[in-house]
């Protein structure tokens, strides 16, 4: 079965610093979703990547899927306290909607 591993598990950065979160799949990805979760709330969709080498940006967050479609990275530029939360990557195995998710990366941004 397919598994998603995220690294690091947790991250504490000073406001204004850049950071990167990685998501590695045990099998080829056919779609990779990034979500953000704040404590006590549901998951908020950030971005979806489908093609190898694809890169998308939204405000100060950039996500990329590698050419082999087995690893994705999420990069935050000039982090702010509002970026704090849990970031999860998710993917549906091909031909199904049985989404699986990584274990999450807890981000804390110090003001």
Q: How far is the CB of 33 from other proteins (least distance, A)?
A: 7
Q: Which residues bind other proteins (CB under 8 A)?
A: 31, 33, 35, 40-45, 48, 88, 90, 96-104
- Nearest-angstrom CA–CA distance, 76 and 36: 12
- Nearest-angstrom CA–CA distance, 103 and 13: 20
Q: How far is the CB of 74 from other proteins (least distance, A)?
A: 16
Q: How far is the CB of 98 from other proteins (least distance, A)?
A: 6
Q: Copy the structure tokens of residue 36.
A: 């953000």
Kindly tell me which of 18 and 108 has the beta carbon lying closer to other proteins: 108
- Nearest-angstrom CA–CA distance, 8 and 106: 8
């Amino acid at each position: 079965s397919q598994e998603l591993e995220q690294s690091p598990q947790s991250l504490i950065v000073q406001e204004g610093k850049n950071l990167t979160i990685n998501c590695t799949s045990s099998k080829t990805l056919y779609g990779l979703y990034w979500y953000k979760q704040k404590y006590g709330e549901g998951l908020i969709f950030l971005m979806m990547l489908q093609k190898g080498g694809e890169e998308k940006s939204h405000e100060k967050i950039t996500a990329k899927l590698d050419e082999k479609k087995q690893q994705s990275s999420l990069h935050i530029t000039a982090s702010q306290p509002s970026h704090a939360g849990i970031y999860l990557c998710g993917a549906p195995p091909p031909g199904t909607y049985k989404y699986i998710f990584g274990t999450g990366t807890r981000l804390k941004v110090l003001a």
